[in-house]
Amino acid sequence: MFRLPFEFFLALRYLQPKRTFVSIITLISVLGVALGVAVLIIVISVMSGFDHDLQQQILGFKPHVTVMKYNLAEKSGEPMRNYSNLASVIARSSNVTSVAPVILGPVLVETEGPTNRPPLQDAPTLRGFDMDTEGRTSKLTNQMVDGEFNLAGHGLVVGVNFAENMHLTVGDHLAIYSKGAMEQIRRAAGRDANVQAMTDSYEIRGIYSTGYNDYDSRIVIASIENAQELYGLDDAVHGLSVTLADPYRAAELKHEIERAFGVDYKVVTWMENDAPFLTALKVEKNVMFYLLFFIVLVAALCILSAQITFVVQKTREIGMLKALGASNLQVSGIFLAQSAVIGVIGVAAGLSLGMLAVTYRNQFLHFMRSVTGWELFPASVYGFGELPALVTPSDVAIICVSSFFICIFGGVLPAMRAGSLKPVEALRYE
């Protein structure tokens, strides 16, 4: 039959709830450890979820590598002509799944509806989409919530938030002021001239939802031919968008293109485009981890306080154990075992509470919104309709193991003090 070492037996016996001040401090210590572990798991999981979901949205919507024509003398970009040869060379790389022409820039839009309804204006970003190349690999075509991804003729696909803000549904029409029309308005603004700007009318064929507010509210998609016409590019494009089988190897392709084509082209990876935001997110995650870990340190101080008080209360018992032959290490082991038990209970409770909160995080947010009317996680601010979270086993292991050892360290000094007591002095106590 398995028998506990007497150190653990006494530690468990001493930890039995009693109506004493030490028991209250012990309970506070357990709650402190549980709260610290739970908060750390929740915050780190949410931050990891933000990082993961944001990267997935970027990879699903933005090109993994963008190649643009670059004028070194003027240090600026210029339209790319005869891009098919460059695209065919890039497509030979083993990691490349598609190479598509890209046109991206701001436009002015205005709703066209009933005469009794005032038109709405906005200035979104127009993206030219090539169905023959990009349509085969883009995830966007599978993210439609209404209508279909049809850009034929003067077809247009818009984001769900943009459609909601502009009161648009499938079948409605949207007037787009092209680059030439805007230049015409600008030239006429400085003189007394009655100039009627020419606009192009587009039909809303579909509404997409990526789950990321910045894309769903700011990007409208037209065919590559219509985008060329709107920007007056003829057969040119702004650049090439490259989709990779492994997006995290984008830097390798960038170096290949730069070696092959030199300084006449500018190559930008998705990681460089969004580097400031992604880096800030990782830094914030690390800072939050260190700051919230102080909750566990406070709990360890509670353990230290409880153990010091307990050693003082049990001085005579310590003397008896020493007189019966217990070694310094065995006496110290009793109090270290107490700290270990508090740590195990606190970490286990915190792990359970943290995982429960992460699992039902969105249900809690919906409940709070229905009860209080407050939007605790507004999509317009954070960019996501739901609170993301990603539980990483390595992060959870680091939190739990380090919290447990901090609890052990909290009891080291009192345990050393108890082990160093001399039997005669301990028995003369009181």
pLDDT in tens, 219-231: 899 998 888 888 8
Asked whether 213 and 384 are in contact (CB, 8 A), the reply is: yes
pTM for the whole structure: 0.69
Q: Which tops the pLDDT comparison, 377 or 380?
A: 377
Residue 384 in any domain: the answer is yes
Residue 226 in any domain: the answer is yes
Specify the 3-state DSSP secondary structure of 374.
Answer: coil
The residue among 223, 238, 272 that closes a domain is 272
Based on the fold, state whether residues 111 and 253 are members of the same structural domain.
yes
Residue 1 in any domain: the answer is no
Residue 355 in any domain: the answer is yes
Residue 108 in any domain: the answer is yes
Is residue 83 predicted with pLDDT exceeding 50? yes
Residue 392 in any domain: the answer is yes
Based on the fold, state whether residues 205 and 125 are members of the same structural domain.
yes
Which pLDDT score is estimated for 183? Answer: 67
Q: Which residues pair with 204 in a beta bridge?
A: 156
Based on the fold, state whether residues 294 and 333 are members of the same structural domain.
yes
Lowest mean pLDDT among 184-188, 191-195, 264-268: 191-195
Residue 319 class from Cβ within 10 Å (0-12 exposed, 13-18 middle, 19+ buried)? buried
Which pLDDT score is estimated for 192? Answer: 54
Residue 106 in any domain: the answer is yes
Q: What single DSSP character describes residue 112?
A: E
Based on the fold, state whether residues 147 and 246 are members of the same structural domain.
yes
CA distance 297 to 294: 5
Average pLDDT, the chain: 80
Specify the 3-state DSSP secondary structure of 78.
Answer: strand
Is residue 2 predicted with pLDDT exceeding 50? no
Q: What single DSSP character describes residue 390?
A: -
Based on the fold, state whether residues 147 and 37 are members of the same structural domain.
no
Residue 235 in any domain: the answer is yes
The residue among 272, 296, 311 that closes a domain is 272
Based on the fold, state whether residues 288 and 140 are members of the same structural domain.
no
pLDDT mean over 35-54:
87
| CA 419 to chain centroid | 49
Based on the fold, state whether residues 165 and 234 are members of the same structural domain.
yes
Based on the fold, state whether residues 350 and 234 are members of the same structural domain.
no
Which pLDDT score is estimated for 196? Answer: 56
Based on the fold, state whether residues 378 and 402 are members of the same structural domain.
yes
Based on the fold, state whether residues 20 and 166 are members of the same structural domain.
no
Counted domains in the chain: 2
Q: What's the number of CA atoms in the CB half-sphere (13 Å) around residue 69?
A: 15
- Residue 368 belongs to domain spanning: 6-55+278-427
Based on the fold, state whether residues 108 and 127 are members of the same structural domain.
yes
The residue among 272, 296, 329 that closes a domain is 272
Is residue 409 predicted with pLDDT exceeding 80? yes
Q: What single DSSP character describes residue 245?
A: S
Based on the fold, state whether residues 127 and 51 are members of the same structural domain.
no
